[in-house]
A and B are shown apart, each in its own frame.
Chain A
Amino acid sequence: MAARKRRAEVLSLADLSKAVDRSVALASKRHELATEAGNLMVNWQILGRILRNFEDLNQALSFAKDVTRGVKIQGLKGQPVVLKVGPDVLCGFIERSQLPQLIAK
Chain B
Amino acid sequence: MTRAAAISCPSAQPDMQDARVFGVIGGSEESPRVSYLRETPLLDAKLVRRLGVIQPTQVFRFAARCEEARCAHFDGQHCTLAQRIVETLDPVVDALPSCLVRASCRWYAEQGAKACFRCPQVVTVIPPGNAPLNRAALPASGAG
B35 CB, nearest partner CB in chain A, Å: 4
Residues in A neighbouring B19, C-beta threshold 8 A: 73-74
Name A8's contact: one of B36, B44, B127 (CB within 8 Å). B36
Chain B residues, CB < 8 A from A47: 49
A88 part of interface (Cβ distance < 8 Å) = no
Let me know if B38 and A6 touch, CB within 8 A: no
* Contact between A73 and B94, CB atoms less than 8 A apart: no
Of B45, B125, B128, most buried by chain A (CB within 10 Å of CB) is B45
Separation in Å of the A26 CB from the closest CB of chain B? 6
Decide: A16 near B125, CB < 8 A? Known: A7-B95, A8-B98, A35-B53. Answer: no
Q: Of B27, B36, B53, which is in contact with the most chain A CB atoms at under 10 Å from its CB? A: B53
Q: Indicate if the CB atoms of A74 and B38 lie closer than 8 Å.
A: no
A7 with B93: in contact, given A23-B25, A74-B19 (CB under 8 Å)?
yes
Over the window 21-40 of chain B, the binary record of Cβ atoms lying under 8 Å from chain A Cβ atoms (1 yes, 0 no) is 00011111100111111110
Which residues of the other chain, B, contact A19 by a CB distance below 8 angstroms? 24, 26, 35
A27 to B26 CA separation, bound complex (whole angstroms): 9
Report the minimum CB–CB distance from B143 to chain A (whole Å).
Answer: 24
Q: In the assembly, what is the distance between CA of A52 and CA of B33, in Å?
A: 29
Interface size of A as a range: 35 or more
A 1-56 contacts with B by CB, 8 A: 5-13, 16-17, 19-24, 26-33, 35, 39, 41, 47-49
Q: Report whether A5 and B95 are in contact in the complex, using a CB–CB cutoff of 8 Å.
A: yes
Cβ contacts A to B, 13 pairs, < 8 Å: A7-B95, A8-B36, A11-B35, A12-B38, A13-B38, A16-B47, A21-B50, A22-B26, A23-B58, A26-B25, A26-B27, A71-B56, A73-B14
Whether A35 pairs with B24 at a CB distance below 8 angstroms is: no
User: Given A30-B32, A74-B19, are A13 and B52 also a contact pair (CB < 8 Å)?
Assistant: no
Establish whether residues A20 and B56, one from each chain, have CB atoms under 8 Å apart when the complex forms.
Answer: no
Q: Are A71 and B125 touching (Cβ within 8 A)?
A: no
Interface string of A69-85 (1 = CB under 8 A from B): 01111111000000000
Contact A67 B53 (CB under 8 A): yes
Docked CA distance A63–B57 (Å): 17
Chain B 60-113 interface residues, beta-carbon cutoff 8 Å to A: 60, 92-95, 97-98
